[in-house]
Structure 1
Amino acid sequence: MMVDPFKSIPGRAVTPEGSRQVIRTLPEEWPVAIVHDGTTLAVMMASPQDLEDFAIGFSLSEGVIRTLDDIAEFEMAEHEAGTECRFWLVDTQGDVLATRRRAFAGPVGCGLCGIDSLEAANRALPQVPEGPRLSAGDVARAVEALRGQQPLHDRTRAVHAAGFLLPGQGLLMVREDVGRHNALDKLIGALALAGISPSDGALVMTSRLSVELIQKAAVAQCAILIGVSAPTAHAVRLAEGAGLTLAAFARGDAFDLYAHPDRIRTGASDDV
């Protein structure tokens, strides 16, 4: 059973001049269960598209698998209540799975919902590799290109996108979802399936740069994270510790740099 990622829903628009009936195109939220070796690790509300990318990216960014070679078998099962993404892992991943198990469903707004301990929420992050160098123009062009590759957002004006920028080639790939962390997981999974290393480029987000995005970028070993909105203070601290570069408030030709700014050449004096 395939579920559309959007639906036309009737409503009533109210303005100072009165009210009228309207039909709005709204994004769908769909329960997606991530199941490893018969045990549900998480149930996330997500946009019902690119779900194989999502399941694989989630498993990678949560540290349940290290590479696609850790997957012995994968299938998706559609139900009236949602979609199950079922993994069977190689034997060596059993202990890892036990430590990363989640307890309950996660809504779209929080990528950490369901974590069953404070220690798990504040897990130590790996150091990212040196990574590429970008120009200020690379950042601006990537954000502009991302705006043009969001068909679900164009219909609904209510979803996030994550894109992958490869220096010299531009924005290679984009994934969308009602949850910003889901969009990033979908992108990480799509990159893995395409054999593209996140360490070769930069991640570009339409959202604020929050803690779970820093965690997922670090685990994916991507050294640069670009967003159109603000980072949180804790996200900056995590990025500093992991060696990750943050470019935030990226709109037009302008952006702010936080944590390890040297990967982006601005051509301007630090005194300005």
Structure 2
Amino acid sequence: MSRSSVAPRSAVQWRADHAARPFERITPRETAVGLSFDGRPHTVLMATPEHLDELALGFVITEGVARAGDVTAVTIKEEDLGVLVDVAFAPGALARKARPRNLEGRSSCGLCGVQRLADAVRPLPSVGPGARIRHDAIPAALATLEEQQALGRLTRATHAAAFFSTEGGLVLVREDVGRHNALDKLAGALARADIDAASGFVVVTSRCSFEMVEKTARMGCPILVAVSAPTDLAIAKAEEAGITLVALARADGHAVFAGGERLIETQPEPV
């Protein structure tokens, strides 16, 4: 976590059992990030200004714009009003035209500015068989992730997306004020590290809307675990893509909404 990711702010604390008193709160920064492709403006994301190169690369992957290998460079330029991030592609790399957008992507919205219904809910690729995990790898992953959310512990105002091995070992974690941004950053980090997303599972600390399933599918990851509840469309899209969708994940249990065949029953300890 960089110093540019947070900022101290003054406030007044009110409680019913004592007088109002001033205090200082560490808040996460939310910055306008202008994303362009080969110099052509595409959208503006509201994001935490950290790992922006990975955010851009992950956006390219999870939006189905191009493959990670088609990206030749990501340049970042700070401006007075935000940050400009340009993605350069190899000639002929844009096999699929990026979804057109006409307004900024807010930190809470994965589809802001998409103009057509056909672009909003697109067919998903099948993730293939992929990894299998034991049920008890999920609470182990949750416990580890809570320890590794440095920005979240400091601000209590961000989301995290993390990738774990099949044994529940933490591989990478990324944080952002936006849940979609956190997952895009994770996708970019995995691609940059040349880690096969089919070799483990993704955990997100947010609710599970269908865009989170879509991004996971385009990463090629077979298992998505969410702390909060899924939407009906998220479940349907997980079934379409062949993704194992686990939600309402807690230390003492979780709910399996799709693809339960990838979860291995935990054997009880011998007495």
The residue that corresponds to 1:59 in the other structure is 60
Tell me the TM-score normalised to structure 1 length. 0.93
- 5+ unaligned residues in a row in structure 1: which ranges? none
Distance in 2 separating the partners of 1:37 and 1:49: 22
Aligned to 1:237: 236
Instruction: Tell me the CA shift for residue 28 of structure 1.
Output: 0.7
Is 1:167 the counterpart of 2:136? The answer is: no
1:95 positional shift? 5.3
- Residue 257 of structure 1 aligns to a residue whose secondary structure is strand
Indicate the residue corresponding to 1:91 in structure 2.
91
Q: Aligned-pair RMSD on alpha carbons?
A: 1.5
Summarize deviations over 1:121-157 as a string: whole Å, max 9, x none: 1111111111111001111111111101111011101
Give the CA deviation at 1:94: 4.0
For 1:88 and 1:131, locate their aligned partners in 2 and report how far apart those are by CA, in whole Å.
31
Task: Assess if the C-alpha contact under 8 Å between 2:108 and 2:178 holds in 1.
Answer: yes
Instruction: Please name the residue that 2:5 is paired with.
Output: 5
Q: Distance in 1 between matches of 2:258 and 2:26?
A: 39
Which structure 2 residues correspond to residues 54-203 of structure 1 after superposition, within 5 A?
Answer: 54-68=55-69, 70-94=70-94, 96-97=96-97, 99-168=98-167, 170-203=169-202
The residue identity in structure 2 corresponding to 1:89 is: F
Corresponding residue for residue 206 of structure 2: 207
Partner AA of 2:4 in structure 1: D
4+ residue segments displaced more than 6 Å: none
**Residue deviations 1:147-190, cap 9 Å, x none?**
01111011101100011011246111100000111000000000
Aligned residue identity for 2:41: T
2-side partners of 1:107 and 1:171: how far apart? 28
- Map residues 5-44 of structure 1 onto 2, 5 A cutoff: 5-16=5-16, 17-44=18-45
Q: Percent identity?
A: 38
User: Partners of 1:266 and 1:110 in 2: how far apart?
Assistant: 35
- Distance in 1 (alpha carbons) for counterparts of 2:26 and 2:168: 33
Q: Does structure 1 retain, via aligned residues, the 8 Å contact 2:34–2:41?
A: yes
Distance in 2, matches of 1:147 and 1:3, equals 20
In 2, the alpha carbon distance for the partners of 1:75 and 1:66 equals 18
Contact 1:137 1:253 in 2 (8 A): no
* 1:95-124 residue CA offsets vs partner (Å, 9 max, x unmatched): 523x42322201111111111111101111
- Give 3-state SS (helix, strand or coil) of 1:230's partner: coil
Partners in 2 of 1:121 and 1:191 — Cα distance? 25
The one-letter code of the counterpart of 2:12 is: R
Q: Is the contact between residue 175 and residue 186 of structure 1 (CA under 8 Å) also seen in structure 2?
A: yes
TM-fit CA distance, 1:3: 7.1
Provide the secondary structure at the position in 1 that maps to 2:136: helix
Aligned counterparts of 1:27 and 1:72: Cα–Cα separation in 2: 31
Give the match's secondary structure for 1:185. Answer: helix
- One-letter amino acid matched to 2:89: L
Shift of residue 72 of structure 1?
2.9
Letter in 2 for 1:214: V
**Offset of residue 241 of structure 1:** 1.1
Q: Secondary structure of the residue that 2:207 maps to in structure 1?
A: coil
Q: How does 1:239-254 map to 2 (within 5 A)?
A: 239-254=238-253
